[in-house]
Chains A and B, each alone.
Chain A
Amino acid sequence: MTDASSRTPHAEESLTVQAEQAIIEPPTGEVVMTLRDVAVSFAGKTAVRDVSFDVAAGEVTALIGPSGSGKTTLLRALNRMHDTVRSASVTGSVHLGDLDVYGPDTDATLLRSRVGMVFQRPNPFPTMSIYDNAVSGLRFNGVRKKSLLDEAAESSLIAAALWDSVKDRLKAHGRTLSGGEQQRLCIARALAVEPEVLLMDEPTSALDPIATKRIEELVGELKNRVTIVIVTHNMQQAMRVSDRCAFLLMGDDKAGELIEFGPTSKLFSEPTDPRTLDYVNGRFG
């Protein structure tokens, strides 16, 4: 308990300690999530380590880097999705506001209703209608009142730019939608719970270019409503949608590590680390 309270980190905590390994330019505004020395390992084998940065409120933070750099692994540490994997262990600290994400008293299911997630492949629930999909998160959280559910379904589907095309067939199956629409349904489903942070794990990797463009536009619109952390292997996408970028790279021991963190414009135009420069110029990865 004393241990947990003594390491309550905030933006003001010095980041220079990590500067030897990673170049970090912390955001100046309000911070929603704080990562300090986060490492994830599976069965003792480290997948990503020593990641420290702050997620600024109302911004889109992108995690970029080549395959194997631990982007998705890191993202899944933020809402404790690794809990289901017995061999997985997460060290370091992740804070959502004042909440210690990995604190002993933290309820992972409650946390996940504050930190939503959208996956690589659209995964609407195949046994549920569009409406039921949209309000599924609220139902998981115990909301039963029809008027509340109706309201949430409409507002979240509007926010996900899906309302106009589905409002007349809310009872249809989620699987009747196109891939891009399914992904927007999954975004609506996550938004309905009104999370503070929305994690997006390569949300366009299974979509065609037009559907991808619409999701990217949506990300831009949504950041007024929710803080977004997005994983992408597509640098153009990171440039288009994000305000801040974390560049990860696989080290010599196959574990991903943070190389550079800073405003997207700076990372792409004048990166400090030569490896970042090589990556954004497409020299590897």
Chain B
Amino acid sequence: MTTVEALPSAPSGRGRQRALPDKWYRGMLGVVALLFGALAIWFLVAIIIQARPAFSTLGFSWIVGKVWNPTHNQFGLLPFILGTIESTAIAVVLAVPIGLGTAIALAFLVPSRVRPALSTTVELLAAVPSVVYGLWGLIVLAPLFREHVEPFLTSVLGWTGLFNGPDRGVGLLLAGVILAIMILPTMVAISRDVLIVVPTEQVEGAMALGATRSQVLRKVVVPGARTGILGAFTLATGRALGETVAVAMVIGNAPFIAHSLKSSAATLPSLIVNNFGESTGTELSALFGAGLVLLVIGILVNALARWLVWSTGADAAGAELGR
């Protein structure tokens, strides 16, 4: 009986043997993916549940309230939302040109002998724990800013109104600078990698038309890598938005809307880390709400980056790079 059945079905039997591990493999991957999805949903739902009391007692307007004063039951998040966006904006404005310039230099201009050493340095900087950056910012940079950088900027750019108030060292500006230093390695490392893979034929096409080295870089290589550069920008912005400890150490932690770059301020993450230990009830729930708002800002930045990629029609270039 068995032999009769086994003989004609031998080829398909072998096929089934091959198919079985494949099925297992797919099943395992499916389970892992499901677990991950479940984790993400659980995480999101938990935050929403924890934040709900704040919404049910305060409505929705507390999110844009200007005053954070838990003893008077005021939990306005606007100062922290603005502090987060402002410190991130300072960081991005400083880090994007410097990071892109460094990436171009590393990819094309630096002699190949010193290139590995410089690249390793950049990657090491990305691995430094943020608390170390915070410590360095507080102990080394803050006095420097108070004595030299802020007085200088005030004398040169004081007319803009951005540098009103006393020189404190700690504050929004220092937080932005520390964040810039922290996201630079990310900007540089990813931008360099995507610049390097712009096809040689594109570079040669421009060269053959009489383009100078700088024209090749500006008109062909950087535009060709823009999808990847936008990716670097998104990752770096995401890190700056969420960075907690280093910012909390140098921003001054004042729950007010900053009226100057030298003002002390606070961000959503620094608010959470400074208060979670002693918060209960509505305040704790409001901290979860702050986390939720941070999440939304992160999603918006991501969506913006995707829209930029899409609207500049970089898909073709991206596909080209992806090959």
Q: Which A residues contact B (CB, under 8 angstroms)?
A: 79, 81, 84, 86, 109-113, 116-117, 119, 121, 123-128, 136-137, 139-141, 173, 175, 186, 189-190, 193
Contact = CB atoms under 8 A, between A and B. Distances in A.
Interface residues of B, number: 25
Contacts of A112: 207-210
B320 A126 contact: yes
A178 to B, nearest CB: 15
Given A173-B313, A175-B316, A126 B202 contact: yes
A189 B209 contact: yes
Nearest to A111: B210
Interface in B195-228: 199, 201-212, 215, 219-220, 223-224, 226
Given A126-B202, A140-B215, A117 B208 contact: yes
A109 B210 CA distance: 4
A86 B108 CA distance: 13
A234 B185 CA distance: 50
B314 interface: yes
A-B residue pairs, 6 tightest by C-beta: A113-B210, A137-B209, A117-B208, A140-B211, A127-B223, A123-B201
Given A84-B207, A140-B219, 10 more contacts: A109-B210, A111-B210, A116-B209, A126-B202, A137-B210, A137-B211, A140-B206, A141-B209, A173-B313, A190-B208
Given A110-B210, A112-B208, A193-B209, A121 B201 contact: yes
Contacts of A126: 202, 224, 316-317, 320
A113 B208 CA distance: 7
B227 to A, nearest CB: 10
Contact of B207 (A81, A121, A128): A81
B208 A140 contact: no
A175 B215 CA distance: 21
Contact of B208 (A110, A116, A173): A116
Contact of A127 (B210, B211, B215, B314): B314
A125 B204 contact: no
Contacts of B206: 125, 136, 140
A222 B173 CA distance: 62
Most interface-central of A81, A121, A124, A127 (chain B CB within 10 A): A127
A140 B212 contact: yes
Nearest to A174: B316
Contacts of B320: 126
Nearest to B220: A125
A45 to B, nearest CB: 19
Contacts of B204: 81, 84, 117, 119, 123
